[in-house]
Chain A
Amino acid sequence: MKLLLIEDNVAMQTTLQRSFSRLGMQVVVCGDGTRALDRWRASVPDVVLLDLSLPGQDGLAVLAAARAEGLDTPVLIVTARGTVGDRVLGLNTGADDYLAKPFDLDELEARVRALSRRRLGNASSSTAADKPMFCGLRADPANGVCYLQGQAMDLSSREAALLRALLVRPGHATAKEKLSGLVFPGESDVMPDAIEVVAYRLRKKLAATPARLVTLRGLGYLLREGD
């Protein structure tokens, strides 16, 4: 996979080039707005990482020129311009994604990967096996079964549905309205408190594990590692 990195800050350029090279990408760098378009044409990248503040020619101008020329490479804009409207402006100009500086390297890598996957038409999203376990808990998306340390857990379908939903983002709360929809699919006359009953039962079944089912009253539920 080939990445075109248009970024004028040398330190940022070096670091990003190193990181993406380690991920097995071929990285072409360009630090000048006026030469960016030539590099783009010549290198035929799979993803372009574009900084907006460039010497010579502004990043948005580079992007507009490239799109006008018919270059449809996915573009991820990275900029320190944190002002209102920049995001809209960037996406209107033909950018596919936008990330404000300073960013997390992990997030940048994830977004570049997502763009390249889209580019390559390869929608092989991460499978359940890739998902790290949380406190020994893991859900199999294929059959919906939840495992604790590899052993299938004895859960009702509603409890399993709740656990699966919470395992998507352990540590972060999910709104109870959303959980209700996942636990009672297709049922419109669910009592608002019904989810509490399911959560109560699941909490008891998780008591033996390090995972804790936490209630944020009025908001939702989350899983966190117990102490």
Chain B
Amino acid sequence: MSGQHPVGTHATSLRRRLLLGILLPVLGFVVLNTASLYRQALQAADTAYDRTLLASAKSIGELLEVVGEPGKPRLQSTLLYSALEPFEADNRSRMFYRVIGFQGEMVSGFADLAAPRAEGDSRERNVYAALVEFYDDSYQGEAVRMAVLMQPVAGLAGTGMATIQVAETLELRRTLAQAVLVQTIWQQAVLVLLVAAAVVWMVNRATRPVRELSQRMTARAATDLSPLPTGDAPRELQPIVEATNDMLGRIARLLDHQKRFVRDASHQLRTPLAVLKTQVQSARRGDVEPQQALAEIAITVERATELANQMLALAKVEQLRQQGDPPLVAWDEVVRNVALDVSALIADARLDFELDTVAAPVRAHEWALRELVRNLLHNAIRHTPSGGLLSLRMHASAGKVALTLSDSGPGIAPEQRLRLFQPFSTSTPDARGRGGSGLGLAICHEIVLSLGGEIRLSNREQTAAVLGLDATVVLPLET
């Protein structure tokens, strides 16, 4: 994460996710594995030491003999404590024993050693013969490992089952367990470190293209809209790079469009200014009467004003679009009001006028609707010859309402059709020799788009002769 890119608290780091997602399970597995290994090692050690314990019990059993009268055998031991010395593996652990006779009597050894546990308790079974039991116990407050051996002893007086108990203190086993534990932990730690190093390296390597891409984009000049190179990005990143390039392309076209608009607009504004300058200079030289010169100047100023207003209107459409959530407006009312506003122009042009509206509630800013109708009406009036026909008809159906303005003007030329709604593309002299601002249709188009409707201009023809132009705007009807 570089400092220039503040990452929201909700943003997740791909790298961190990968690292946690891989390393945490690995770590968990290693911990479980360590525990399991330790347990296995301890069991193996127990088994080994239990064998020694059994051997010592057996060697004690070999020293037992049966005495007494026949039918009344008695166990006798000649055992010395030193007999166990060979089995005490080192000086750290101590061994204790006890021999119990046929009738459960104490025969030899440490009398205070706990008696063998009853069958069915929780002593653990060993791999050795069923006659041997091993379990953990305590002797004189010390934890011991106990082996209990049932040893058949035969003699002249008869046979019997001797019980031999051998207990061993746990120092040695504990030492061994510790050694095993330490070694296991070391091994696992090294394993974890190796895995972690490999994972970190791999994740960093895998996410490097993402970081490089973002660095490359930050490092770009602010005005650089050229596409990003697609070749060296991994396949997973290609869609992002392509989408970015697509967006860059669109921004570049938009910017280009705006640049062209500014260039065209300044040119269009300079034209009336140039005319004005000439008119003023001519008037000052006394070429014309002052009143006539001023009247001509007034017309030029009017045109420049209209142009500036239209340019502002175009900007305002965009502003309204961003405001969103337009109110409910009766489009038919707007149409009637605008028609009333321009009625003087209609009357001046001696147009045969007809208006037919239907109730048309639409979602729009009233200003936008007025501007739309005003521009269309102005166009129609402007291009219809004196005494011509001008009709406005509204028609509602299937959740939509259409307004059609029909005039009896010259219609649109085929070469105009392509750039009809582009700024400054349709400025042609009208029926009375005056040019429009060239922005009217662009404004209409923008407004209709912002209202989610459509606009169509088509010539009304009859046997190859153009009768006039039909301008139709369709807007979604609010119900």
CA of A175 to CA of B339, assembled, Å = 10
Which listed residue, B356, B357, B367, touches A84 by the CB 8 Å rule? B367
Q: Which residue of B lies closest to A216 (CB)?
A: B353
Contact A172–B344 (Cβ < 8 Å): yes
Q: Beyond A216-B353, A217-B353, is A174–B340 a contact (Cβ under 8 Å)?
A: yes
Contact A219–B353 (Cβ < 8 Å): yes
A181 to chain B, nearest CB (A): 15
Interface string of B318-341 (1 = CB under 8 A from A): 011001000000000000100110
Contact B340–A84 (Cβ < 8 Å): no
Residues of A within 8 A of B316 (CB): 82-84
Which listed residue, B305, B308, B347, B354, touches A224 by the CB 8 Å rule? B347
Q: Is A222 an interface residue (CB 8 A)?
A: yes
CA of A152 to CA of B312, assembled, Å = 50
Interface string of A214-227 (1 = CB under 8 A from B): 10111110101000
CA of A175 to CA of B337, assembled, Å = 9
Q: Is A102 an interface residue (CB 8 A)?
A: yes
A214 to chain B, nearest CB (A): 5
Residues of A within 8 A of B356 (CB): 218
Which listed residue, A102, A172, A218, touches B357 by the CB 8 Å rule? A218
B474 to chain A, nearest CB (A): 20
CA of A82 to CA of B314, assembled, Å = 12
Residues of B within 8 A of A171 (CB): 344, 347
User: What's the A-B contact tally at a CB cutoff of 8 Å?
Assistant: 60
B418 to chain A, nearest CB (A): 31
CA of A203 to CA of B19, assembled, Å = 92
Q: Which residue of A lies closest to B392 (CB)?
A: A218
Q: How large is the interface on A (under 10, 10 to 19, 20 to 34, 35 or more residues)?
A: 10 to 19
Q: Which residue of B lies closest to A171 (CB)?
A: B344
B331 to chain A, nearest CB (A): 15
Q: Which residue of A lies closest to B346 (CB)?
A: A216
- Which one of B336, B343, B347, B357 has the highest number of Cβ atoms from chain A below 10 Å of its Cβ? B343
CA of A82 to CA of B320, assembled, Å = 13
Contact A84–B312 (Cβ < 8 Å): no
CA of A174 to CA of B340, assembled, Å = 7
Which listed residue, A82, A102, A218, A220, touches B343 by the CB 8 Å rule? A220
Q: Is A173 an interface residue (CB 8 A)?
A: yes
Residues of B within 8 A of A172 (CB): 340, 343-344
Which listed residue, B301, B340, B367, touches A175 by the CB 8 Å rule? B340
Residues of B within 8 A of A173 (CB): 339-340, 343-344, 346-347
B403 to chain A, nearest CB (A): 13
Interface string of B347-367 (1 = CB under 8 A from A): 110000111110000000101
Residues of B within 8 A of A217 (CB): 353-355
Query: Can you list 24 pairs linking A and B with CB atoms under 8 Å apart?
Result: A82-B312, A83-B312, A84-B316, A84-B320, A84-B323, A84-B365, A102-B308, A171-B344, A172-B343, A172-B344, A173-B346, A174-B340, A216-B347, A216-B355, A217-B354, A217-B355, A218-B356, A218-B392, A219-B336, A219-B340, A220-B340, A222-B343, A224-B347, A224-B348
17 A-B pairs besides A102-B305, A175-B336 with CB distance below 8 A are A83-B316, A171-B344, A171-B347, A173-B343, A173-B344, A175-B340, A216-B339, A216-B347, A216-B354, A217-B355, A218-B354, A218-B356, A219-B336, A219-B339, A219-B355, A222-B343, A224-B348
Top 10 A-B pairs, shortest CB-CB distance: A173-B343, A218-B355, A217-B354, A216-B353, A224-B347, A219-B355, A82-B312, A171-B344, A102-B305, A214-B347
B residues with a Cβ closer than 8 A to A are 301, 305, 308-309, 312, 315-316, 319-320, 323, 336, 339-340, 343-344, 346-348, 353-357, 365, 367, 392
